[in-house]
Amino acid sequence: MRSSWTRFEVWLSEHWPEGLAGLNPPATDEQIAGLQEAIGITLPDDYVACLKIHNGQNPDAGGLFEGSEFLSTDEILAQWTVWKDLLDGGDFAGIHSDPSSGIQSDWWNARWIPFTHNGGGDHLCLDLAPDASGSAGQVITMWHDSGERELVAPHFGSWFTSYTKRVFSGDLVYSDEYGGLIDRKDA
């Protein structure tokens, strides 16, 4: 994780210095433990390693992950709590999603941990409650207004490696118009 972040930081310093400056310092053990206690879940080791490098980004820094904010431990809890309150309030009773193989058909599950947010209620999540053909810690999409749930990567580490490779290859670029990294085709 450290070597991928170091390389990504070098790229950011050359192509989007403001994005680099918007990254938060490492999460403390106390911040990570507090998040895990609040949501009642132990986070995957590869994701914890990421948080120990950068505890997300400043919410005003722009979209680090394809136009979406990289959530800090505080923002993860805030986003998760919104969804948990809706779940506990019965808002999703009888509503199912249309998931890819390996993902449960819940509209939202309390063991889906958002780590990005696009500002409109959509996330990439760590899925810690996969169905029998999935794997705990897989990365999935969670759209607030669509039932589609896609499997993006088998775990956070592979997702991050793939993401940074797309950045380094030029498939993702910084856009002033969008205020973050986006697909080159959309720039």
Give tens-digit pLDDT for 118-164: 999 999 999 999 999 999 999 999 999 999 999 999 999 999 999 99
Select from 32, 29, 57, 38 the least CA-distant residue to 110. Answer: 38
Q: Domain range for residue 105?
A: 2-186
Cβ contacts of 164 within 8 Å, gap of 6 or more: 4, 7, 8, 11
What CA–CA distance (Å, rounded) separates 43 from 33? 9
Question: Mean pLDDT across the stretch 108-112?
Answer: 97
How far apart CA 122 and CA 143 sit, in angstroms, is 5
Q: Binning pLDDT at 50, 70 and 90, where does residue 65 land? A: very high
How does residue 55 score in pLDDT terms, banded at 50, 70 and 90? very high
12: its two tokens: 């950011």
**pLDDT band for position 92 (cuts 50, 70, 90):** very high
| pLDDT confidence of residue 32 | 98
Residue 148, token pair as written in the block: 């589609």
Question: What pLDDT sits at residue 187?
Answer: 86
Whether 84 shows a pLDDT value over 90: the answer reads yes
How many structural domains are present in the chain? 1
The whole-number average pLDDT for the span 165-174 is 97
Q: What is the CATH number of the domain that holds 7?
A: 3.40.1580.10
Cα–Cα dist 23/18, whole Å: 9
- Return all residues near 1 (Cβ < 8 A) that are at least 6 apart: 46, 49, 50, 53, 157, 160
